[in-house]
Amino acid sequence: MAHQNNDNNTSLTWAGADNGAATTTAARRALYLKLFSGELFKGFQRNTIARDLITKRTLKNGKSLQFIFTGRTNSEFHVPGQNILGNTDGAPPVAEVTIECDDLLISSAFVYELDETLAHYDLRGEISRKIGYALAENYDRRIFRAVTKAARQVSPITKTNFKEPGGTQIRVGTNAKASDAYVPASLVNAFYDAAAALDEKGVSGEGRVAVLSPRQYYELIQDAGTVASSLINRDVTGDALQSGQGIIEIAGIKVYKSMNIPFFGKFGVKYGGGDTATAPNLTSPTNVGDFVGDSMGDQNENATPSGQKTVNDYGEEAKFDHSCGLIFQKEAVGCVEAIGPQVQVTSGDVSVIYQGDVILGRLAMGAAPLNPAAAVELVAGAAAGAGNNAAF
């Protein structure tokens, strides 16, 4: 005879309870299927933009690529009766800039075939995307450090009596505080100073761009109704305006945002430290992870074994303690690519032996200054050219 509940309440069978353990809601639902939403949380994906903003060439069958830098020449009046055999000063002067390819950059992961079979989402595709993001991020960081280096260099022309223009540093604001980097009016003034400097140095107005940190960019677009805002040309509004993809234009300079520019010795943002010369008074939004505000580290051939060794010298971390933005034209930096960003996957016997595949992303490139006159570095908290803002 079946048991009868004397309290007239239904005696429930908990179909989701593991071995009948139904003391809590979680226990009663333990055996229910966890459905896949069809969406993947892709983590922190930073836009990579540098590849199309500089001069890029493909390197084949060699370790370096030669770029020719041609200086200016003068005009002179013809003297009747004299032969015309070239300017008497031997102009224009010519110099070469050689850019080598850094060592092969890789990012890889091993995907076990059984895991891939059991997973109810595109495991391999997601891993491939993350590998691609890692390579692209490193690409941008090297390019932007090379632009910063260009802004502090003199011209490659060394011919006597020919002094070609070099790079430019412009201070944002006038206080000895890093927080000036976020003041919209000061940023706009710095843009116009940069545009004037590029004009005065004979740099083409075509292809001029600026790259700021995200918070600087958003300060600019929030600055509605002020004098600074009235000087900003907005091609479109709405979502496109906030995308950071060169929609805002100041003094003919398209403005981009990136988490990969040098920013007070970090990449893209620097939290805490009070309002000092090298740290803006910026409170962390908490739980930002290890990849936000990365330390820049030393990236050159003399780096420590734990550091990043490269053929090209991208500078020491301490040299970027006041850097807070870049303005440049595409001739500022050259990039050589021996192997463009690509993903390879093992197959055949390797897959059989290890019952899985290695997904490998690889990239071989190098970057260096070409025409320093086309590069401008924005600094805050110190005068331009002072201290660790000096040349590399």
Q: Which of 167, 172, 134, 152 is nearest to 314 (CA)?
A: 152
Q: What is the pLDDT of residue 47?
A: 63
pTM for the whole structure: 0.85
Q: Which pLDDT belongs to residue 33?
A: 67
- Which runs of E-coded beta strand occur in the chain? 55-58, 64-70, 94-100, 105-112, 168-171, 208-212, 232-234, 245-250, 253-257, 262-263, 266-267, 323-329, 333-345, 356-369, 375-379
Q: What is the pLDDT of residue 40?
A: 57
- Indicate the domain borders of the chain: 58-72+91-389
Token couple for 245: 């993809």
Q: Tens-digit pLDDT profile for the chain (392 aa)?
A: 555 555 666 676 777 787 777 778 878 777 776 666 565 565 666 667 898 899 999 988 888 888 888 877 777 788 898 888 777 676 787 888 889 999 999 999 898 888 878 776 677 888 888 888 888 899 999 999 999 999 999 988 887 777 889 999 999 999 999 999 999 999 999 999 999 999 999 999 999 999 999 999 988 888 755 645 555 555 555 555 555 565 688 899 999 999 999 999 999 999 988 889 999 989 999 898 888 888 998 888 777 666 667 889 999 999 999 999 999 999 999 999 998 888 788 888 888 898 988 988 889 999 999 999 999 999 999 988 877 777 77
119: Cβ contacts below 8 Å, ≥ 6 apart: none
Looking at residue 214, its pLDDT comes to 93
What is the DSSP code (8-state) at residue 148?
H
Q: Hey, is 373 helix, strand or coil?
A: helix
